[in-house]
Amino acid sequence: MNRTLEDLVGRIERTTALDPVADRLAGLVSKRLSASTSLRNVLSGTAGGHPLHPMLVVVPIGSWLGASYLDLTGGKAGQAAATNLVGLGIASAVPAALAGANDWADTRLAERRVGFVHAVGNQVGLVLYTGSWFARRRQRHALGVALAAAGGLMLGVTGWLGGHLSYARGVGVDTTAFDRASEEWTDVLAEADLVDEQPTLVYDGKLPVLLVRTGGQLYAIADRCTHRGGPLHEGPFSDGCIVCPWHGSKFRVSDGQVLAGPATRGQRAYEVRTRYGSIQLRHTEEVGSLRRDPIS
Ligand code: FES
C-alpha cells in the first residue's frame, strides 16, 4: 500500500500538465489574500505560532469519523446525531479549506501540484458529504451512509497527500528547524565593513545570517526565512524590521519575532558583540536533540 501511494504521489509531483491551472489558481488565491494582511495572518496561524490549517482539519475529520461510527454502531437512534455530525463537518471544512488554500498558494512546483490534487480531492469529499447530509435529511439514510463512506475513502487518500506535503516535503515546517548555530563566539565581519541601516549577509559556518546596525546597536538573526526559506537580507529594512522579499513576512531584528505572516515562527536571534574591530556572534539557546546532534 505504501508503495502504491508513493508511486501515486511521485506521478503527481512530476505531472507538469497541472501547472497552468494550479499556478493560475494559486495566483488568484494570493491576490485575494494579500489584500488583507490581518486575514492572511489569521489564516496562516501567525498569532498562534503554528500553521492554522492542521489544527482546523481535525474538526471536519473528527465530525465525519464520528458520523461513520454512529452509522456503524448507532442504529436508528444514532441517525439524527450522525446527520448533525455530517453537517458540522461540512460547516467546519470551509475555514479549514481557506487556511489550507492560504498555505498552498506559497508553494511551488511539485509541492504545488500535490497540494492542488489534495485540495481537489478534498472538494470531491466535501461534495460527497454534502450529498450525504441532504440524503439523510430526506430520510434516505442508506444513501447518506454510502455517500459518507465514499467521502471518507476520498479523504483518506487526500489526507495521505497532505501528510506527504508536511512530513516528506516539509511544507509548513520552520525551514531553520534543523540548523545548528555556533555556540562559540564566531567572527563574521570587520566592524568597519558594516554600513549603518544596511542589512548584510554574513555566515555562521554555512548558515546565512542577517547582520544589521541600527540606532547604534548590532543585531543578527537567521537570514533564511522560517516560512519558505526566503533570503531576508534582500528585503526592505525600516524601523528595526525586515520584510521577507518572497511573501512579505515581517520580522523584528532585535529578537527575530514575527510581526506579520504568513510566517508563524520567528527568526533565530543571535547574541552579537565586537572584539578588536571584528563583529562576533553566537547562539546558545537550548534546542531539540535533532538539531544539536542530527547524526546519532
Ligand atoms: S519565504 Fe515566505 S515569507 Fe519568507
How many angstroms does the Cα of residue 139 sit away from the middle of ligand 1?
Answer: 49
Final residue before a domain boundary, out of 168, 198, 224:
168
Atom of ligand 1 nearest to the CA of 263: 3
How far apart are the C-alpha atoms of 270 and 221, rounded to whole Å?
6
131 part of a folded domain: yes
**122 shares a domain with 30:** yes
| Ligand 1 pocket, mutate which of 244, 258, 264 (most atoms under 8 A from CB) | 244
Cβ-in-10-Å burial (0-12, 13-18, 19+) of 36 comes to exposed
| Cβ pair 263, 226 in contact under 8 A | yes
Final residue before a domain boundary, out of 136, 168, 200:
168
**193 shares a domain with 151:** no
**161 shares a domain with 35:** yes
How far apart are the C-alpha atoms of 277 and 279, rounded to whole Å?
7
pLDDT digits (tens, 9 = 90+) for 84-113: 999 999 999 999 999 999 999 999 999 999
**141 shares a domain with 80:** yes
Amino acid identity, position 92: S
In the chain, which ranges are E strands? 186-190, 200-204, 207-214, 217-222, 237-238, 241-243, 250-252, 258-260, 271-275, 278-282
Atom of ligand 1 nearest to the CA of 249: 3
How many angstroms does the Cα of residue 69 sit away from the middle of ligand 1?
Answer: 41
Amino acid identity, position 145: V
**80 shares a domain with 46:** yes
| Ligand 1 pocket, mutate which of 224, 247, 251, 265 (most atoms under 8 A from CB) | 247
Summarize the confidence of residues 244-266 as an average pLDDT. Answer: 95
| Ligand 1 pocket, mutate which of 34, 41, 225, 267 (most atoms under 8 A from CB) | 225
214 part of a folded domain: yes
**225 shares a domain with 148:** no
Taking only Cα atoms into account, the Rg of the chain, rounded to an integer number of angstroms, comes to 24
**98 shares a domain with 23:** yes
How far apart are the C-alpha atoms of 153 and 135, rounded to whole Å?
18
Q: What is the pTM of this model?
A: 0.89
How many angstroms does the Cα of residue 35 sit away from the middle of ligand 1?
Answer: 17
173 part of a folded domain: no
| Cβ pair 27, 116 in contact under 8 A | no
**At residue 221, what are phi and psi to the nearest 5 degrees?**
-135, 160
- The more confident residue out of 225 and 291 is 225
| Cβ pair 62, 118 in contact under 8 A | no
179 part of a folded domain: no
Final residue before a domain boundary, out of 168, 200, 216:
168
Share of the chain above pLDDT 70, in %: 96
- Please tell me the residue having the least CA distance from ligand 1 atom 2: 247
pLDDT of residue 171: 93
pLDDT of residue 2: 77
| Cβ pair 258, 249 in contact under 8 A | yes
**160 shares a domain with 234:** no
How many angstroms does the Cα of residue 184 sit away from the middle of ligand 1?
Answer: 29
pLDDT digits (tens, 9 = 90+) for 185-221: 999 999 999 999 999 999 999 999 999 999 999 999 9
pLDDT of residue 287: 67
| Cβ pair 290, 179 in contact under 8 A | no
Q: In this structure, what DSSP letter does residue 283 have?
A: -
pLDDT digits (tens, 9 = 90+) for 106-151: 999 999 999 999 999 999 999 999 999 999 999 999 999 999 999 9
Q: Specify the number of domains making up the chain.
A: 2
Amino acid identity, position 223: D
**226 shares a domain with 157:** no
Q: Confidence band (pLDDT; 50, 70, 90) for 180? A: confident
160 part of a folded domain: yes
Atom of ligand 1 nearest to the CA of 106: 2
Q: Which residue, chain included where needed, has cell 503554528? A: 50
Q: Which residue, chain included where needed, has cell 494579500? A: 34
Over 70: is that where the pLDDT of 289 sits? no
Atom of ligand 1 nearest to the CA of 229: 1
How far apart are the C-alpha atoms of 271 and 287, rounded to whole Å?
16
**97 shares a domain with 203:** no
| Cβ pair 106, 262 in contact under 8 A | yes
35 part of a folded domain: yes
193 part of a folded domain: yes
Helices 141-163 and 109-137: crossing angle in degrees, nearest 10, is 160
Q: 235 is in which domain, residue-wise? A: 186-292
Summarize the confidence of residues 167-179 as an average pLDDT. Answer: 92
How many angstroms does the Cα of residue 256 sit away from the middle of ligand 1?
Answer: 14
Count of beta carbons in the 10 Å neighbourhood of residue 81: 13
Kindly report the CATH number assigned to the domain that includes residue 206: 2.102.10.10
Atom of ligand 1 nearest to the CA of 261: 3
Q: In this structure, what DSSP letter does residue 225 have?
A: -
**156 shares a domain with 16:** yes
Atom of ligand 1 nearest to the CA of 232: 4
How many angstroms does the Cα of residue 121 sit away from the middle of ligand 1?
Answer: 27
Ligand 1 surroundings by CB, under 6 angstroms: 106, 225, 227-230, 244, 246-249, 262-263
250 part of a folded domain: yes
